[in-house]
Amino acid sequence: MARSDPRIIAPRTWSQNTRRLSNKLIKMGAPHTLAINCASETTASKTNSHMPRLHSDRRSASTCISSRSRALLSQQTPAILWSGLRQSCPFESLSWHIRQFLSDQLVARKFAPSAAARDVVLKQPYPDLAWIQAFFDFETDTGIGSGVFRLVPTADGTWKAFTVYTNLEDLKGFPEKTGLNREFLPNHGKWKDQRAQERAYADRDPEVIIIGGGQSGLDVAARLKLLGVDALIVEQQDRIGNQWRYRYEALCLHDPVWYDHLPYMPYESAFSIPLAGRTDPRPSQFPSVMASVYASTEGREHNMTLSAALADWLEYYAEAMELNVWTSTTATRVEQTKDGKWVVAVSKAGGPERTFHVDHVILALGFGGGVPRMPTYPNQDEFQGQILHSTQHKTGRDHIGKKVVIVGAATSAHDIAADYADHGVDVTLYQRSPTYIMTTKEGMPRLFKDTYWEGAGPTDVADRVHTSMPILMVKELHKRLTAEIAEADKEILEGLKKVGFKYYFGDDGSGFLYLAQTRGGGYYLDVGTSKKIINGQIKLKGDSPLAGFTKTGLKFEDGSELQADVVLFATGFAGAAQAIRKLVGDEIAGKLGPVWDLDEQGEQRGAWRWLGMPNLWFMMGNLSMCRFHSKHLALQIKAKQEGVYGTRYAP
Ligand SMILES: Cc1cc2nc3c(=O)[nH]c(=O)nc-3n(C[C@H](O)[C@H](O)[C@H](O)COP(=O)(O)OP(=O)(O)OC[C@H]3O[C@@H](n4cnc5c(N)ncnc54)[C@H](O)[C@@H]3O)c2cc1C
């Protein structure tokens, strides 16, 4: 496309302008001079805005922007405002909601941050793409907030906010008990008894019940603890961490360790496991009476965390953070009373049922509700072998000498297939639909080097930078990154193509993060299994749809068959709705919205925010999302408990 649009300025000029403004902002540091106009006119079409070009033809990237991209970007000129958008008084109080406002939903408004813009940086990931990013702080009548804004230049020389993100950090008057707010008084040997009493709930109800003691439950419990909200976790398994401990042995996290820290207790430079005899620096909020012994490192390519070690870490975390946990305790029923309180019935193994009356219930039941998705196929009953879901698989050793077919081709399927191959088991992967493949070696540094990486800076900052970029914009940026990663992974991808493995590059070529936030799967972040598929250690079947079972295996629509002793479904999880309904019943379930995937504004549905009924919440996500958003959920609850919660901005 020729450079016919007068609104577009040459990237070089743009870049120079950007640097100039960046320097000016750094020198100024004066907040009142920096009023950000996040007006409805901040769309490219209405303001002569020169938006970052995300779609442009690479050959002529310096001079053009496709009409499609401009249309997309104008739709996506968002200001994510977690708080503060009131028609009359924008930042006077909180919106009590997590949501995004696209530009055409905003009215013109100005606000002045309460302190100097800080951490101003010029970001220029590509020669034709740059913005100025800065943090700011502000206050509302009830909250203390921080924000991140991004400015882009317009053709007339003015600068406009392209994204504005605000984040509630704390409630005024109710600071977290960390740092100088920690307990200073000596305890004189009463700590053990106090802890026992605290978690016994012999003569009191907690304010909050958290159902599920995986990372979702633990993270939000830790947040509530430091906000002084009494919360009890009930976990049906007999040990915290079992969810990871008893997943298949070969599981390890595929994200870099810097992405996976838990709140308040980051791992050391590599993953740490409890190890007697070593004392490492303790997190800053630990009361001084607390003694802890942990750490040691277990290196893996890119510092990936081992699932068994993560299980131990979660268990340790619950103890170290002094969370109130009842293990071997299953929540069986959740009901609401007329006064809006919640009744939760729990059954503790070997003991009588206990009914709690609480203000809030947090369902932390697991990714996709933890309910396995188990498809059925014709003649399944006739099959004489074993049928398993990936959640029932433990180790390849269990099937040595057998023929295994794995149905599915995303993460679990790959991990389990590799494990079988390592144990010399005859394993075939049956692939139904294409999978996004990216090696962690090539992909992770490109995706996370500025945020979640060694030396990239504090995780708290990374969380805010990362979240402040609207997912729809991330998607656009990731189209480029995904193409770059694919180029670097060319050899692997070509090898996979040769053996008939079907891959794609995610939604519109945007790679894995968007898939995670929408489908919660559909990808494999390769840590070695792809090579096993290429060299035939793992066989592949993907040329014909699965028609059903035979007595001795599977048959396909083209008439071909596969012999199998074991058919393992690595088909993911059913979704949260089923698990929620089981606990709350049809009537309440009917009032709740969906959990996961994105709403029309690009915000995660149902998790950490309004689910459909007051004081009933769902907590889920990967380790990183749970770390960050657990604070948002805890702050909403704390505000309600303290009577400072305002009116949720609902539209
Ligand atoms: C194979 C696999 C690999 C993954 N890899 C990664 C990764 O690399 N990085 C990443 O960040 N995330 C990963 N995830 C996603 C996510 O982090 C995990 O699923 C994680 O376990 C989710 O934590 P959670 O606390 O939400 O759920 P869970 O860990 O599943 O915990 C839910 C808990 O709720 C309990 N529970 C359920 N119902 C009840 C009840 N009625 N009463 C009492 N207790 C109940 C369960 O026993 C369970 O312990 C992976 C998930 C899977 C399945």
Q: Note the pLDDT tens digit of each residue in 64-87.
A: 222 333 333 333 333 332 222 222
Asked if residue 83 lies in contact with residue 145, where contact means CB atoms within 8 angstroms, the answer is yes
For residue 583, give the ligand 1 atom closest to its CA. 41
List Cα–Cα distances, 344 to 14, 100, 107, 359, in angstroms.
59, 33, 43, 10
What is the C-alpha separation between 522 and 524, in angstroms, rounded? 7
Regarding the beta carbon of 365 and ligand 1, being less than 6 Å apart is answered yes
Asked if residue 63 lies in contact with residue 170, where contact means CB atoms within 8 angstroms, the answer is no
What is the C-alpha separation between 620 and 383, in angstroms, rounded? 36
- Give the SS3 label for residue 501: coil
Query: What mean pLDDT is predicted for residues 635-644?
Result: 96
Q: How far is the CA of 70 from the centre of ligand 1 (A)?
A: 40
Q: How far is the CA of 273 from the centre of ligand 1 (A)?
A: 19
**List of E strands, 81-217:** 100-102, 110-111, 118-126, 129-139, 143-153, 159-171, 208-211
Confidence at 266, pLDDT banded by 50, 70, 90: confident
What is the reported pLDDT for 81? 29
Regarding the beta carbon of 235 and ligand 1, being less than 6 Å apart is answered yes
Give DSSP secondary structure letters for 313-363: HHHHHHHHTT-EEE-SEEEEEEEE-TTS-EEEEEEETTS-EEEEEESEEEE
Among protein residues, the one with the nearest Cα to ligand 1's atom 45 is 212
pLDDT at residue 618 tops 80: yes
What is the reported pLDDT for 107? 46
For residue 255, give the ligand 1 atom closest to its CA. 8
What is the reported pLDDT for 646? 85
Cα atoms found within 13 Å of the Cα of residue 9, Cβ hemisphere only: 21
What is the C-alpha separation between 41 and 156, in angstroms, rounded? 14
Average pLDDT, the chain: 79
The alpha carbon torsion through 603, 609, 611, 612 (nearest 10 deg) reads -100
What is the C-alpha separation between 273 and 298, in angstroms, rounded? 8
Poorest-pLDDT segment among 1-15, 304-318, 555-569: 1-15
For residue 216, give the ligand 1 atom closest to its CA. 25
Poorest-pLDDT segment among 152-156, 166-170, 382-386, 481-485: 152-156
Give DSSP secondary structure letters for 379-425: TGGG--SEEEEGGG---GGGGTTSEEEEE--SHHHHHHHHHHHHTT-
- Could you tell me what percent of the chain has a pLDDT over 70? 77
Poorest-pLDDT segment among 175-184, 325-334, 378-387, 607-616: 175-184
Bridge-based pairing of strands 503-504 and 435-439 is parallel
Confidence at 540, pLDDT banded by 50, 70, 90: very high
pLDDT at residue 533 tops 50: yes
For residue 624, give the ligand 1 atom closest to its CA. 11
What is the reported pLDDT for 42? 26
pLDDT at residue 583 tops 90: yes
Q: Closest Cα partner for 517 from 426, 384, 440, 624? A: 624
What is the reported pLDDT for 78? 30
CATH number of 191-251+306-369+574-642: 3.50.50.60
Query: What mean pLDDT is predicted for residues 551-560?
Result: 98
What is the reported pLDDT for 104? 52
Regarding the beta carbon of 253 and ligand 1, being less than 6 Å apart is answered yes
Q: What is the pLDDT of residues 17-34, one digit of tens each?
A: 445 544 544 443 322 222
Per the listing, tokens 């657990």 go with 630
Confidence at 447, pLDDT banded by 50, 70, 90: very high
What is the reported pLDDT for 651? 57
Domains in the chain: boundaries = 16-171, 191-251+306-369+574-642, 372-569
Single pTM value for the model: 0.84
Asked if residue 410 lies in contact with residue 435, where contact means CB atoms within 8 angstroms, the answer is yes
Among protein residues, the one with the nearest Cα to ligand 1's atom 31 is 214
What is the reported pLDDT for 601? 79
Q: Closest Cα partner for 223 from 125, 333, 362, 120? A: 362
Query: What mean pLDDT is predicted for residues 149-156?
Result: 80
- Could you tell me what percent of the chain has a pLDDT over 90? 54
List Cα–Cα distances, 449 to 122, 259, 436, 444, 483, in angstroms.
16, 11, 21, 7, 17
Confidence at 253, pLDDT banded by 50, 70, 90: confident
| CB crowding 79-107: b at 16 or more within 10 Å, else e | bbbbbbbbeeebbebbbbbbbbbbbeebe
pLDDT at residue 151 tops 80: yes
- Give the phi and the psi of residue 163 in degrees, each rounded to 5: -135, 140
Among protein residues, the one with the nearest Cα to ligand 1's atom 15 is 622
Query: What mean pLDDT is predicted for residues 301-322?
Result: 77
320 by Cβ neighbours in 10 Å (0-12 / 13-18 / 19+) ranks as buried
Domains 191-251+306-369+574-642 and 372-569 in one fold: yes
Per the listing, tokens 């697991």 go with 366
Confidence at 153, pLDDT banded by 50, 70, 90: confident
What is the reported pLDDT for 182? 85
For residue 217, give the ligand 1 atom closest to its CA. 25
What is the reported pLDDT for 273? 40
What is the C-alpha separation between 13 and 20, in angstroms, rounded? 10
Provide the β-strand partners of residue 272. 297
Q: Closest Cα partner for 233 from 258, 209, 215, 252? A: 209
* The two structure tokens encoding residue 247: 């997943």
Asked if residue 127 lies in contact with residue 62, where contact means CB atoms within 8 angstroms, the answer is yes
352 by Cβ neighbours in 10 Å (0-12 / 13-18 / 19+) ranks as exposed
Q: How many CB atoms lie within 10 A of CB 511?
A: 28
Cα atoms found within 13 Å of the Cα of residue 497, Cβ hemisphere only: 8
Per the listing, tokens 């995937």 go with 597
What is the reported pLDDT for 20? 53
Query: What mean pLDDT is predicted for residues 345-357?
Result: 91
Tell me the helices (H) and strands (E) count for the chain, helix number first: 16, 27
Tell me how far the alpha carbon of residue 34 is from its chain's centroid: 32
Please identify, in words, the CATH class of the domain defined by 372-569: alpha beta
Confidence at 10, pLDDT banded by 50, 70, 90: very low
What is the C-alpha separation between 594 and 426, in angstroms, rounded? 40
Per the listing, tokens 């103890």 go with 319
- Of residues 285 and 399, the one with the higher pLDDT is 399
Confidence at 15, pLDDT banded by 50, 70, 90: very low
